């Protein structure tokens, strides 16, 4: 995920001096990377596999300075503890939110929060794909003052 974040941050073609942000995220359950489900059937399968378990998100982050060609790189982790869910609960959730293009088959910023009994990590923004606390640190290292 760090490699993809770097690729995103450094692929911007610009003549201006800029700071370009790239991020990428993977979801891991039972030591396997879980991709985006892409359809209803796969979303239901993923959520059934996650029911009652803890999954981990790894989010890579890169800030590329086009003026200096320097890239700050890092990553953050975030754990999601799932409730024990029934097939009916999962189907209702998937039909309501259609999380087909979301890592882990849920949208934590919406009804997906109902699927969890605990969240653990230093920055809740990591779960939606952009660890803002780390981003602020990286921007400051590049000389950009956020405040």
CB 2 within 8 A of CB 75: yes
Q: How many domains does the chain have?
A: 1
Is 69 inside a domain boundary?
yes
Is 22 inside a domain boundary?
yes
Q: What is the CATH number of the domain that holds 105?
A: 3.90.950.10
Is 147 inside a domain boundary?
no
Which among 13, 15, 24, 123 is annotated as catalytic? 24
Is 94 inside a domain boundary?
yes
Total residue length of the chain: 147
Per-residue pLDDT of the chain (147 residues; tens, 9 = 90+): 667 677 777 777 677 888 999 998 999 999 999 989 999 999 999 999 999 999 999 999 999 999 898 999 999 999 999 999 999 999 999 999 999 999 899 999 999 999 999 999 999 999 989 999 999 999 999 889 999
Is 146 inside a domain boundary?
no
- 123 is annotated as an active-site residue: no
Count Cβ atoms below 10 Å from residue 86 Cβ, excluding itself.
11
Owning domain of residue 127? 2-141
């Amino acid at each position: 995920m760090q490699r993809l974040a770097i690729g995103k941050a450094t692929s911007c073609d610009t003549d201006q001096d800029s700071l370009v942000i790239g991020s990428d995220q993977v979801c891991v359950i039972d030591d396997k990377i879980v991709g985006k489900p892409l359809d209803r059937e796969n979303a239901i399968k993923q959520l059934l596999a996650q029911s009652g378990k803890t999954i981990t998100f790894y989010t890579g982050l890169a800030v590329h300075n086009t003026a200096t060609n320097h890239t700050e790189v890092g990553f953050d982790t975030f754990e999601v503890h799932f409730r024990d869910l029934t097939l009916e609960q999962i189907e209702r959730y998937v039909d309501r939110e259609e999380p087909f293009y979301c890592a882990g088959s849920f949208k934590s910023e919406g009804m997906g929060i109902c699927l969890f009994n605990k969240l653990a990590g230093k920055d809740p923004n990591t779960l939606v794909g952009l660890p803002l606390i780390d981003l602020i640190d990286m921007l400051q290292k590049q000389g950009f003052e956020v405040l």
